[in-house]
């Protein structure tokens, strides 16, 4: 089962990564100024990850494939790594859909 890991950046911002059961990061957040905002971002991922229309499938300038997960207001709440193929990217999306709704939260921001 996947989990959200909250960490604190060197600049004091909070961020989360959604990790699959194997520990691989499948979605990374933006930086948040407060832990509460970061936790709201996690709740937004849990909710929005169940709507396929919230995933924006993209191709980078160097022909790698990635996706953004967007909230109902159109704001990006998470981004994927770069994938070598469309199939790999689509597998990443399916992994987010599967792991996000029931994922535990591991708060490592105070460590």
Q: pLDDT-derived band of residue 38, with 50, 70 and 90 as boundaries?
A: very high
Q: Quick one: tokens of 89?
A: 């990217």
Residues near 93 by Cβ (< 8 Å), separated by ≥ 6? 52, 55, 57, 67, 80
- pLDDT band at residue 1, thresholds of 50, 70 and 90? confident
pTM surpassing 0.85? yes
Q: Could you read off the pLDDT of 59-91 as tens digits, one per residue? A: 999 999 999 999 999 999 999 999 999 999 999
Q: Which residues pair with 32 in a beta bridge?
A: 14
């Amino acid at each position: 089962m996947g989990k959200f890991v909250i960490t604190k950046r060197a600049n004091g911002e909070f961020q989360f990564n959604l990790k699959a059961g194997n520990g691989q990061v499948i979605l990374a957040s933006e930086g948040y100024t407060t832990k509460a905002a970061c936790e709201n971002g996690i709740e937004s991922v849990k909710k929005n990850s169940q709507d396929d229309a919230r995933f924006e499938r993209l191709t980078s300038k160097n022909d790698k494939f990635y996706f953004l997960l967007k909230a109902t207001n159109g704001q990006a709440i998470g981004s994927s790594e770069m994938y070598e193929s469309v199939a790999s990217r689509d597998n990443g999306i399916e992994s987010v859909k599967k792991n996000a709704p029931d994922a535990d939260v591991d708060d490592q921001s105070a460590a």
